[in-house]
Structure 1
Amino acid sequence: MTTENWNDDARPTTSEGWTARAKEVAAVLATDAVERDQANRTPHAEVRLLKDSGLVTLLGPKEHGGAGESWETAYRVVREVAKGDGSIGQLLGYHYLWAWAARLVGTPEQIAAVEQLYTANNFFFGGAVNPRDDDLVIADEGDVLVFRGKKSFSTGSKVSDLTVLEGVLENSGEHVFAIVPSDQDGITYGDDWDNLGQRLTESGSVLVEDVRVPWSSAAGYVDKQFQALTYNTLNVPTIQLVFANFYLGIAQAALEAGLSYTAQHTRPWPYGGDNKESATEEFYVLDAYGDLQAKLWAAEALIDKANAQLSALLHAEREALTPEQRGEAAVLIAAAKQRIIDTGLEVSTRIFEVTGARATASSVGLDIYWRNLRTHSLHDPVAYKRVEVGRYALLGELPEPTWYT
């Protein structure tokens, strides 16, 4: 991967400018995405690319050197980067969530401190968060919390400057989030992420041994009591929509790769009785691409609608959010996620039908799109997203907030 250096360039000042910058980053990533996927090396250079381009501080406050952009822009940026490399799109999307984590659950003082810290220093976030398992236990030692345990997944932590730890407080069972330096003796990375897809996300295990955090850094806690708001529960819809956007980026890249290969390499079938001079004239090829493009446009429109709706809530006053607003956004996101999973998997599979046998060569790398989508779309069962939408449509029920809803 050859990297561009944007350090001497003026930073974009509009949403459109940042989307264009993301496309430039994606173009760099796409040049050797297949080779880097096959090598499965830790993506230090890729994260440096995100930093140098200015994308890391997209949501950061302007007074600290950030772009002060909206989540609607951030979602589009994630989508564009994922077109170049699905793994790096995921890393950037997760970073945006963790960069916003203090705003989601923190106190005003914590929000100000965290946003200044990461924006001014161009820091990149990872997260060792898996609320499904109580595998990280927190001991209360007076003014200090001590994290101990092992997380099965820690996306991006090894290439990050800051890591969001999530654990369960002994005795109370309360979940606590805290931001800590990633490079420290108490955190050991397992280097055991070797999965089918999203191979460059550094999503392996992490061992946490006696990581000490002052109570003042426990996100949202005042005098050891969590200050609950409905706004706190936007964390799951926010990350679920991150998923939908980088799924869409991967699917769009798959379709573009198929179209390009067909136009340049696929041969027409010589035994059809109505032989064509080019594969681009084949009726079944045109039919397939027309079907897939229409479905992707529909998924994109639904995701864009969800992006606009959730972004408005994320940038509104935290205290003003109602459970109804939260629930309606969650339903729309559930619909968008299920639609892009189904469509994305179809696109990344059917492109082989219209590119031909030679397109299955490892050097072509068309398999990367299906592998990436198939791997991450198993994060949580999509059937439950369909049920959420079904309950809303049939019964008028809004989903209750959980760690996956």
Structure 2
Amino acid sequence: MTIAESVTTGLTDRWRGARSPRDGAEWLVRAQEVSDILAVDAVERDRANATPHAEVRLLKEAGLVTLLGPRAHGGAEQTWDTAYKVIRIVARGDGSIGQVLGYHYLWAWAARLVATDDQIAAVEELYTSGNLLFGGAVNPRDSDLTVREDGDELVFSGRKSFSTGGQISDLTVLEGVLEGTETHVFAIVPTDQPGIVFAGDWDNLGQRLTESGSVEIRDVRVDWASAAGFVDRVFQPLTYNTLNVPTIQLVFANFYLGIAEGALETASAYSRTSTRAWPYGGDDKEHASEEWYLLEGYGVLQSKLWADEALLDAAGAEISAVLHAQREELTERRRGEIAVRIAAGKLRIVDDGLEVATKVFELTGARATANSVGLDIFWRNLRTHSLHDPIAYKKREVGEYVLLNQIPQPSWYT
């Protein structure tokens, strides 16, 4: 039995035939059950760096993949407010799988963001009824995926440096530029086809199980009618279309918080059982848990994460309200205000999370640096993904709002 297979063996029978969670609170309990399973061997699975097929099966069997899907097709039809908290909880147990789930939620919602009503209905029925996981070959800094017209079809060709979800996805969101124009085209296609070839080259410092390596797209054909948001080959723009960036940026912030919470939980458990009191300070304690500097250290770190949680929950409630409202109602100003709040939350959890993931080594002691303890996984995961886009620009966005009353203009990263 492989390490990855051990994640689900004998542990998910509890959900077969069981009543599905009825509300957001019960879904958070379900997410915690998943997180607890993932945490047991997260370090070993990270070291093995194997494709996480079993972990995805766990998400599917738990019902988390269809959390946002319509009830009519077997989904839970929960809100984004709940989805953000589910991402955070799963990331406490395994940051990589929290990211995979968060990206899936964004791509599962992509049809609602940009597609026509008929396209939305078709996509949501497809992925919800099939319990399918999304990946995305979407990286706006890569301009080497092109789209050409061939009669009633579009043909995607080229390469993307990053494609989170990769081989573990059932559906892939493609994005490219229509030849001879500056028009970006999104389409959803089955992952398992000859024209999608993953390089298997994701071997980074952290988030190692996200399958985020490069992909080659070889003449993948899509009906023009499936181009998201196009009517008679003309895109129909709405301000709502631009919510994709703040939505995914808050996904980032929530799995960052989950990773930091996992670091603090793991470290505090270690301190309670294994850290030894320091006998040379003149204020000798019998147990490490009585050491004033450890109590102070854990108190400061937990206070920061509680503050981050409050900020992210407030931002999550704000964007969830507009994501579930009528698309035509969203104004540019409201969109910008929400984006600023999310930028503020992201920059705070990046700073605080990295502090937590570093400081825990001082609070646990030298023996906690053993590879078998695995405290390094939290810093590696958070450090890796927090470089996704420069945090300095998030700080500037907040500063421009405060000083100049300017909202960020929608782009691929704001």
Same-fold call, TM cutoff 0.5: yes
Tell me, yes or no, if structure 1 residue 233 matches structure 2 residue 242.
yes
- 2:289 and 2:330 map into 1 onto residues whose CA distance is 51
- 2:314 and 2:132 map into 1 onto residues whose CA distance is 30
Q: What is the match of residue 134 of structure 1?
A: 143
Query: In 1, are the aligned partners of 2:7 and 2:55 still within 8 Å (CA)?
Result: no
Q: Which of 370, 384, 388 is the matching residue for 1:375?
A: 384
Q: What is the match of residue 272 of structure 2?
A: 263
- 1:400 and 1:123 map into 2 onto residues whose CA distance is 33
After superposition, give the CA deviation of every residue in 1:131-176 in whole Å (9 maximum; x if it has no partner). 1121101111121110000100000021011000011111012111
- 1:111 and 1:41 map into 2 onto residues whose CA distance is 34
Q: What is the match of residue 185 of structure 1?
A: 194
With structure 2 as the length reference, what TM-score do the two structures score? 0.97
Tell me, yes or no, if structure 1 residue 315 matches structure 2 residue 350.
no
- 1:219 and 1:158 map into 2 onto residues whose CA distance is 23
After superposition, give the CA deviation of every residue in 1:37-88 in whole Å (9 maximum; x if it has no partner). 0000000000000000000000000001100100000000000100110000
After superposition, give the CA deviation of every residue in 1:312-355 in whole Å (9 maximum; x if it has no partner). 00000000100011000000000000000000000000000010
State, as a whole percentage, how many aligned pairs show the same letter.
68
Tell me, yes or no, if structure 1 residue 14 matches structure 2 residue 1.
no
SS in 1 for 2:65: helix
Instruction: For residue 7 of structure 1, report the CA deviation from its aligned partner.
Output: 2.5
Question: After the TM superposition, which parts of structure 1 deviate over 4 Å for at least 4 consecutive aligned residues?
Answer: none
- 1:19 and 1:276 map into 2 onto residues whose CA distance is 39
Structure 2 counterpart of 1:77, one-letter code: V
How big is the alpha-carbon RMSD for the aligned residues of Structure 1 and Structure 2? 0.6
Instruction: For residue 388 of structure 1, report the CA deviation from its aligned partner.
Output: 0.2
Structure 2 counterpart of 1:48, one-letter code: R
- 2:24 and 2:67 map into 1 onto residues whose CA distance is 10
- What pairs with 1:3-402 in structure 2 (closer than 5 Å)? 3=8, 4-5=12-13, 6-402=15-411
Q: What are structure 1's unaligned runs of at least 5 residues? A: none
Structure 2 counterpart of 1:79, one-letter code: R
Query: In 1, are the aligned partners of 2:142 and 2:161 still within 8 Å (CA)?
Result: no
Instruction: For residue 222 of structure 1, report the CA deviation from its aligned partner.
Output: 0.7
- 1:82 and 1:311 map into 2 onto residues whose CA distance is 20
Aligned length: 405
SS in 1 for 2:392: helix
- 1:9 and 1:69 map into 2 onto residues whose CA distance is 19
- 1:223 and 1:141 map into 2 onto residues whose CA distance is 15
Query: In 2, are the aligned partners of 1:125 and 1:157 still within 8 Å (CA)?
Result: no
SS in 2 for 1:342: helix
- 2:139 and 2:71 map into 1 onto residues whose CA distance is 32
- 1:240 and 1:226 map into 2 onto residues whose CA distance is 24
- 1:312 and 1:132 map into 2 onto residues whose CA distance is 30
Greater Cα offset, 180-189 or 134-143: 134-143
Structure 2 counterpart of 1:26, one-letter code: S
- 1:134 and 1:81 map into 2 onto residues whose CA distance is 33
- 2:16 and 2:188 map into 1 onto residues whose CA distance is 28
With structure 1 as the length reference, what TM-score do the two structures score? 0.99
- 2:17 and 2:106 map into 1 onto residues whose CA distance is 28
After superposition, give the CA deviation of every residue in 1:172-211 in whole Å (9 maximum; x if it has no partner). 1211110000000000000000000000000000000000
- 1:224 and 1:252 map into 2 onto residues whose CA distance is 47
- 2:368 and 2:247 map into 1 onto residues whose CA distance is 36
Instruction: For residue 265 of structure 1, report the CA deviation from its aligned partner.
Output: 0.4
Structure 1 counterpart of 2:225, one-letter code: S
- 1:174 and 1:238 map into 2 onto residues whose CA distance is 22
